[in-house]
Structure 1
């Protein structure tokens, strides 16, 4: 992975004049992209084996879309991110499969997640990292607004589906859990959980 990232950076260096700051941002961005693809691959392979592929796919897509604007906690290494994503996405997917999707449960979940999302995004988004800090006030406002728009669109589609067809679906719960997970990841407790999980995975992988 590191060799691949190094080769990609080499191509950019040959074509563009990058300073140290730009190179660091590009390297970090490449790490995120590759860890995302690796996370998707591992999570979906396991989800296929567990029979929860569609739920896990929706959960991961929901998380990825909101994370693109809201930011959030990350593990330090690419493999840790991929493994942690695999575990979390499949745990949420398995939970979705186990829950009977009644109107009361689904609508309550949507309302709770929407309110929690409004609070966490308004307070913490965009949540940056030391490797890629966001210093522009204008950019912070834009990313916060985009995050809120994504949350509103998600809520609109779910509520609209229920009002239009007068029924609910397990996919609605899966997307709710995806939004909830992502909104939690931008909070202070979320950052601490990711950090502790990173430490635990490092110990396990060393052994």
Structure 2
């Protein structure tokens, strides 16, 4: 549905010579991602609202989205799989935490924070076949911003150590770490470091 709507809008713009073919493809990809994410977010937040988990889902999802914005990472091949992942992850995990009253103690917050920072430094940003990060400067910029984002969220988590909010923030970061780890790409038989297939640009 989002694909057809995006094509309809962009075809109108292209027909009036507002963009080149290359610009059309780039904008089409970006719009599809945006509209798809909005639609899936509505699904996730609607279910979390019905289960009384709206705040918990928002906190965990916020940490994930903020880091993913710069660290990028793996994408599911189908919209259905992505929707299932979002519901299971951002509704299922907070639900388990709520039912078990689970929180990370301060020591584990510190240990997990160090793991997160190492993985961000080592693996971010991770690209995809459809969106290879060819530019060296862009990859460097994204890595720096990803590190700054991770450090900022971790500082909040350490300040609130032992609380549910701290646990949800760290868990959101951990989910994104999984998304950029080469092991996930390997398990799903997806290519990693796709920019290496292209000539590096400044």
TM above 0.5: yes
- Residue 193 of structure 1 deviates from its aligned partner by 5.5
- Residue 192 of structure 1 deviates from its aligned partner by 4.5
Distance 1:186 1:63 in 2: 12
TM-score, with length taken from structure 1: 0.81
Relative to structure 1, is the Cα distance of residues 99 and 151 closer, same or farther in structure 2, using a 3 angstrom cutoff?
farther
Distance 1:169 1:194 in 2: 34
Aligned to 2:181: 187
Distance 1:77 1:25 in 2: 19
Distance 1:193 1:108 in 2: 31
Distance 2:63 2:148 in 1: 13
Give the secondary-structure state (helix, strand or coil) at the position aligned to 1:81.
helix
Is contact 1:71–1:127 with CA below 8 Å preserved after alignment?
yes
The runs of 5 or more residues in structure 1 that have no matched partner are 163-167, 197-207
Aligned to 2:167: 173
Is contact 1:55–1:96 with CA below 8 Å preserved after alignment?
no
Relative to structure 1, is the Cα distance of residues 114 and 6 closer, same or farther in structure 2, using a 3 angstrom cutoff?
same
- Residue 161 of structure 1 deviates from its aligned partner by 4.0
TM-score, with length taken from structure 2: 0.83
Relative to structure 1, is the Cα distance of residues 8 and 96 closer, same or farther in structure 2, using a 3 angstrom cutoff?
farther
Give the secondary-structure state (helix, strand or coil) at the position aligned to 2:128.
coil
Q: Would you tell me which structure has more helix in proportion to its own residues?
A: 1
Distance 2:176 2:138 in 1: 20
- Residue 101 of structure 1 deviates from its aligned partner by 5.1
Is contact 1:43–1:90 with CA below 8 Å preserved after alignment?
yes
Distance 2:40 2:188 in 1: 15
Aligned to 1:18: 20
- Residue 146 of structure 1 deviates from its aligned partner by 0.3
Aligned to 1:57: 58
Distance 2:123 2:154 in 1: 20
- Residue 111 of structure 1 deviates from its aligned partner by 1.5
Give the secondary-structure state (helix, strand or coil) at the position aligned to 2:126.
coil
Relative to structure 1, is the Cα distance of residues 192 and 157 closer, same or farther in structure 2, using a 3 angstrom cutoff?
same
Relative to structure 1, is the Cα distance of residues 71 and 30 closer, same or farther in structure 2, using a 3 angstrom cutoff?
same
Relative to structure 1, is the Cα distance of residues 169 and 106 closer, same or farther in structure 2, using a 3 angstrom cutoff?
same
Relative to structure 1, is the Cα distance of residues 106 and 119 closer, same or farther in structure 2, using a 3 angstrom cutoff?
same
Query: Which structure is higher in RCO with an 8 Å CA cutoff and minimum separation 6?
Result: 1
Is contact 2:60–2:169 with CA below 8 Å preserved after alignment?
yes
The runs of 5 or more residues in structure 2 that have no matched partner are 191-202
Is contact 1:113–1:179 with CA below 8 Å preserved after alignment?
no
